[in-house]
Structures are given as C-alpha cells and as structure tokens.
Copies of this chain bind each other. A is one copy, B any other.
C-alpha cells in the first residue's frame, strides 16, 4: 500500500482526552477515531490489526474444535426474562423498543440466545460435545467509557459456549478453551496469565480470567516467577493431557490485589513477582445455570433427560488491540509483534524527487508485494525526519530506508523497530530476508 493513496491521518501531538499509551498511540497512528462516547470507527490501519487478532482467535477456536456461528447484535428481551437476567443486568444493557414497541436489547453477551438455539436443535447426548462461538460486536452502556478501545461501549468480543452431557465432560470443554487461550495470547506476543476469578453476573463456580502483564495494566497482580518458565504453545490430544496442563498452570500462585493477601500468601518473597495486568479473556463453567431455567436438556445414555452442562469463554478482541500496545511500545510509538502487525515492512523513500530513487523504490515495492509481503510504502514528498517519525509511531516490525547515497553504494538500510538495530544490505539480500 502506498501512503499517498492510503487513509492514514497521523497526529504529531497527543490528543487532550487520551491518558494511556494505547489510547494515545491509536489516535496518533490514525488507527481509530471516536464517533460517540465509547464508540469508535476503525480506520484502515487499525482495522488491519483488529482483523489479524480476530484471525488468530478464530484459528485457535477452530483448532480446539469449536464451531463458528454468528448471532445477531439485536436480541429479543423475552429470552433474558426467561433466564432472569433482564432485571439483573441493570443499566449497562442497552434496551431498545422497535416500531411495534417490542422489547429488544443490544446483546452484551449471548448465553441466553445460544442456549435457545442449541436446545431447539440438539436432543441427544450423541450430538455432544458441542462448542459454538461467534465473533460479534457487543454493547455495554458503561457509565464512564474511557481509555479508548480498552473500555469502550461498542466492542468486538469472541464468545464461545460449550454444551456437555456431564460435568466431567464439561470440565474437559473448559480445559480445551483454557489451553486454546494460552496459545491464542502467546501467538500475539503476549504473556497472559490465568488467574482464578469471581464469576460475577455470568455465574457458576469455576472461572479464570487471563491477564496480560503490562506496566500500565488496570489491576495490580502478584504471581509466582515460575510462570516465566512455562511454555504456553501447548499441543494436546486427550482430556488427560489437557487436565495436566491446566493443573500445571493453575498450581502456581497468581492473584489480583483484590484477592492477594501478603499475610496468607505462602510464596517466598524471592519467588513472587508483582506487576500490573489487563484482562483480555475470561472463561466460566456454570453447569446448568442457564440450561435449567431455559429447558436445555438432552436425552442421556440411560434414556433420561438431563440438563446440559455449560461453560462460556470470552476474548476481548478489540480490547486486545489496546492490550498489545500497552505491553509493546516505547516513547516513539507502537512496536507491533509480527503476527498482528498491520504491515510487516515500512518502505521509506528518502530520495524525494530523485528520479532514480523513486524508480528504485517503486521497483523494490513491486518485488516485495509480488513476494506476498505486506508493505506500507511511504512514497510521499514529506521530509526524511517526518517519514521516520511516522514509521516509528505506527510501529511496523521492519523499516527499509532507501536514499540516494545508499543507492550509489548499492545498499538499503534495514531497521528493526523493536531493537532499533540498523543494518545495511543489498536490496536482493533484503528481499531474501523477508521472503
């Protein structure tokens, strides 16, 4: 993509209303613009990141055996009255009346609707286990939306719902999502730590939230240093393997400051790490909390009807864009992990109107594109300083700078955004390196 043809409205100054790094840099890098309180438009650069995160989430859900569906954003209030949550949910739920005065709402979550769909279609334990997920916009009418996409009102969430014939089978579905989440966040370059959590308005008695460790995190967390040695890129092939991995990850101490008590914590001070965390995922096992009131039962092996055992599993997809920036930036801007970077390479023409330099850059751009590499090519007439600053701000993993002096020597300069290391190499070596 050529910058001259792109829609990349970057800002030099920090917007007055932005306080945290992700909010500041998402506005400055032209990734999003607020259109109403807590409601954002994703501009081209931001949308590319959002979609890469969504794709990683999707791949890991599919790999774990979950099936993708898509529920609507607008739901009927009837199902929520049946489950008893219509009143419980309070003012965070956006309630709507249509032209016929039917009571609707913008879904803040989907336990009721998916349970209804499931129970209409599945009647036998032979069709279980099932895990249905979707990646859809949700709305929660936060009283004080802030921190950009980190605490917005309209946000993109992946929510999965598992259905099993027994609590034991349900536990394995829970473990499958637990292990999928370890992989999901690791693939985005994040250190995400599972912590035992309260179940809140979702209910149930087993729950973990996944927190990304970042200096600017919203919660203070305490965890055993042993987490650093665990490999999150787990592969499992049986319920036993999954249980064993979950046991390993949950055997080590991890708690937010709400739960942590220095008096009773039995981890040695030298083993305890204190940090800050951002919640990016939350999983729940709640048995028959929804299946019982909503009549979601199947015929069991003995011919008798049993209420299905359910869990639900959320990932904050749009929130992750902010979470990744919080955990990976410097004073100059964002530092994207390659897996979610909007482009892999920023190609910078330093030659301005120098015809040779323009022709050379055009050619290198065409070759990189032909090799299937995602390149953002700054072909504008801006000065070198502005071009470098903008590339650092938007944080692509690699920069290739092409100037008239380098060209005479047959070299371009390749910079690693994360380390800052710069290496001169021939264009051919650069092509080989990135292909």
Contact = CB atoms under 8 A, between A and B. Distances in A.
A425 interface: no
A104 interface: yes
Number of identical protomers:
2
Interface stretch (A1-9, A167-175, A237-245, A355-363): A1-9
Contact of A69 (B41, B73, B104): B41
Interface stretch (A31-39, A193-201, A259-267, A371-379): A31-39
A113 B74 contact: no
B65 A5 contact: yes
Given A104-B36, A116-B35, A99 B44 contact: no
A252 interface: no
A154 B74 contact: yes
Contacts of A86: none
Nearest to A34: B72
A36 B73 contact: no
Contact of A67 (B7, B50, B72, B130): B7
B137 A73 contact: yes
Nearest to A50: B70
Given A113-B41, A117-B41, A154 B73 contact: yes
Nearest to A65: B5
Contact of A70 (B30, B47, B91, B117): B47
B35 A117 contact: yes
Contact of A141 (B6, B71, B99, B153): B99
23 contacts: A6-B67, A7-B67, A7-B132, A9-B121, A30-B121, A33-B117, A35-B72, A35-B116, A41-B69, A41-B70, A42-B69, A43-B117, A44-B68, A50-B70, A73-B73, A73-B137, A74-B94, A74-B106, A74-B139, A74-B153, A92-B99, A94-B96, A94-B98
